[in-house]
């Protein structure tokens, strides 16, 4: 937990934060409304004798009292998909509509991708891209299991992604759930900090900046880009969004989030950020008994 000490000055009730990080994370699933309604899914869980608790902020998120959420009847039939609770936040913030063209820049293994398809009633196009060919198989498997037919799967580096393969020149929305140092997953991955270093944070932030810039460039004027990570490092969060604000035509917009959260930072160490970064959300493990996440929402503007 020593690497997390660098965040003591920015996290309220830091001791509660550390205590939460040391507790194992419970199991959560997302109801896949492509296959079944929330009510039908809950009825199936009750018949199976699986105890659950519905998340206050999102009725499609269920906390299950089972060690094997992937072995339930509802999972086997694609009614539910195992997904950490705060991992379901970015697609809700992006809020795509049926018929739109949406780019999921870093899509595998497909939890958020299929969530986007479900929010669009599986109507429209979700381009699910990942640069790791080995992870594409998991993405395709989850799409098939959950019945998401609106997906087009691509394998490319999002930083240099070309739209020439499509018959359109811009997306309506884009999700950048960026590869990161994964500090916020410590509750489900106790070894998440084993190879932690500031050098790794610096290296991955460069990749994140490139992906977010390309997402803004590939989204139409007036379109929306959501940037998210499962880490606490400002270098990977606010600093990446700041870079996009300085190099691309976009602005931060507010969004409602019923989960308890903290505002984004406007300064870190000797670096100052745009004051509107307060509109971003930092979700800490002790606030909702979840993992950690960062989410920012951008609107693409005219040059």
Catalytic member of 21, 105, 180, 230? 230
Residues of the chain with CATH 3.30.70.1170: 26-83
Question: Which pair of structure tokens corresponds to residue 152?
Answer: 């087009």
pLDDT number for residue 195: 87
Instruction: Return the CATH architecture of domain 2-14+85-300.
Output: 3-Layer(aba) Sandwich (3.40)
Is 21 an annotated catalytic residue? no
Can you tell me the distance from the alpha carbon of 93 to that of 89, in angstroms, rounded to the nearest whole number? 6
pLDDT number for residue 107: 98
pLDDT number for residue 122: 98
pLDDT number for residue 15: 97
pLDDT number for residue 27: 96
pLDDT number for residue 2: 86
pLDDT number for residue 216: 98
Residues of the chain with CATH 3.40.50.150: 2-14+85-300
Stated pTM of the model: 0.97
CATH topology of domain 26-83: Alpha-Beta Plaits (3.30.70)
Q: Could you read off the pLDDT tens digit of each residue along the chain, which spans 303 residues?
A: 689 999 999 999 999 999 999 999 999 999 999 999 999 999 999 999 999 999 999 999 999 999 899 999 999 999 999 999 999 999 999 999 999 999 999 999 999 999 999 999 999 999 999 999 999 999 999 999 999 999 999 999 999 999 999 999 999 999 999 999 999 999 999 999 998 999 999 999 999 999 999 999 999 999 999 999 999 999 999 999 999 999 999 999 999 999 999 999 999 999 999 999 999 999 999 999 999 999 999 999 997
pLDDT number for residue 87: 97
């Amino acid at each position: 937990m020593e690497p997390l000490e660098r965040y003591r000055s920015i996290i309220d009730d830091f001791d509660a934060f550390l205590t939460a990080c040391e507790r194992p994370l419970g199991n959560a699933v997302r109801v896949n409304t492509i296959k079944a309604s929330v009510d039908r899914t809950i009825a199936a869980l009750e018949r199976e004798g699986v105890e659950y608790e519905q998340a206050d902020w999102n009725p499609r998120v269920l906390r299950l009292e089972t060690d094997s959420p992937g072995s339930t009847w509802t999972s086997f039939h694609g009614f539910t998909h195992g997904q950490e609770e705060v991992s379901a936040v970015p697609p809700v913030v992006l809020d795509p509509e049926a018929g739109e063209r949406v780019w999921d820049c870093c899509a595998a293994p497909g939890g958020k991708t299929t969530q986007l398809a479900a929010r669009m009633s599986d109507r429209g196009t979700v381009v699910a891209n990942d640069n790791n060919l080995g992870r594409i198989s998991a993405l395709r498997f989850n799409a098939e299991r959950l019945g998401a037919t609106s997906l087009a799967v691509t394998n490319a580096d999002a930083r240099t992604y070309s739209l020439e393969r499509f018959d359109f020149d811009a997306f309506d929305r884009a999700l950048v759930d960026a590869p990161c140092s994964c500090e916020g997953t410590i509750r489900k991955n106790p070894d998440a900090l084993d190879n932690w270093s500031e050098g790794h944070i610096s290296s991955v932030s460069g990749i994140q900046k490139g992906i977010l810039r390309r997402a803004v460039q590939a989204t139409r004027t007036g379109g929306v880009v959501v940037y998210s990570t499962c880490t606490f490092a400002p270098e990977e969060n606010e600093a990446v969004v700041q870079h996009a604000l300085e190099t691309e035509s976009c602005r931060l917009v507010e969004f409602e989030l019923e989960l308890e959260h903290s505002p984004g930072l406007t300064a870190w160490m000797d670096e100052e950020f745009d004051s509107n970064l307060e509109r971003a959300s930092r979700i800490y493990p002790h606030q909702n008994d979840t993992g950690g996440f960062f989410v920012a929402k951008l609107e693409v503007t005219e040059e």
